[in-house]
Chain A
Amino acid sequence: MEGTLNLVGFGLAAIGPGIATGLIFAAYINGVARQPEARNVLQPIAFLGFALAEALALFGLVLAFVL
């Protein structure tokens, strides 16, 4: 079997952002369930947080290819 350890490292690095994304959307769903009219306010915040957490995973992906 061939490959680089980079990809194993990327797999490990993706755990954190994966959990983070789950927490962000859990909080968003909770918020909308409690107060449905707050949806429009919460949506940009949720996607912003999601983008920030996801960016970390994607930096890992880029580094896995670059290094």
Chain B
Amino acid sequence: MRVYAATEGVKDEGFNPPDAGDFNLPPFIDGNSFATKPILLAFLSVLIISVFFILAARKSAVVPSKLQFAGESIYGFVRNDLGRDVIGHEFMRFVPYLFTLFTFILVNNVFGIVPLIQFPTMSRVSFPYVLAAITFFVFHYIGVRRHGLISYLKGIMFIPGVPKPAYILITPLELATYFIVRPMTLSLRLFANMFAGHLLLLVFILGGEHLLQGVIGLKLVSPFSFVVAIALTFFEFMVQCLQAYIFTLLTALYITGALADEH
């Protein structure tokens, strides 16, 4: 895998298409592998979210201010559309987790198109891995608390109402679904979306910049590349919001599955 330093100007002659190496940003303090841009952005997102919601909730009034209204609509969206409609009557226990998850992922994703920041934190795979691992433990913990370890595992492995010989096929598949596929798809979906989106923007912006340095014919084509890049930026914004929504929705669905009496 190639690793570029951010200050490295000329790689070689011709156009270097962006690749996975462009995501390996070097630490800004030499030798300290924790002082990198994604980690800084994760802390920044926590700061932004905390300040925003503390300010929004500080002066609660019956007739809300604009800030309070904004904060309440985000909270209301997570509580009603993701909590109440999906989980059901005991949703309030899980709203804090869902809300944290949704805002954290949303802000970190949107960093991908904020000018001057322009790096989605979730395009480094370790962040989605950790989030998916938390969700993984949360829904299994809830399931075990609700049903007891033995009957929870039994519920996963032996779905009622299936002919006995079919368990040879279904049991391994169900185990793989619950313990491997779910955390893997949850993390990789978020990661791959952010990775692909950032790469797509890099292709059009760097490509447009390179065309600008070419002969006159190529210079004329270059604006189209930038126009496409701008259009894709808006598309990316949609994808970023959608991915935050989907991650939280799937978490809520897994929690619902763990709470259900019959799997």
Contact = CB atoms under 8 A, between A and B. Distances in A.
Given A55-B185, A65-B19, A44 B192 contact: no
Nearest to B186: A55
B86 A44 contact: yes
State the main secondary structure of chain A at its contact with B. helix
Interface stretch (B137-145, B163-171, B241-249): B241-249
Contact of A65 (B20, B85, B246, B249): B20
Contacts of A51: 189, 246, 249-250
Given A44-B85, A44-B86, A62 B249 contact: no
Contacts of B188: 55, 58-59, 62
Contact of B245 (A47, A58, A65): A47
Contacts of A65: 19-20
A35 interface: no
B196 A58 contact: yes
B85 A40 contact: yes
A47 B19 CA distance: 29
Interface residues of A, number: 13
A48 B246 contact: yes
Interface in B232-263: 242, 245-246, 249-250, 253
Interface of A: 40, 44, 47-48, 51-52, 54-55, 58-59, 61-62, 65
Interface of B: 19-20, 81, 85-86, 185, 188-189, 191-193, 195-196, 242, 245-246, 249-250, 253
Report, nearest first, the 5 A-B pairs whose CB atoms are least far apart.
Answer: A58-B192, A51-B246, A55-B189, A65-B20, A62-B192
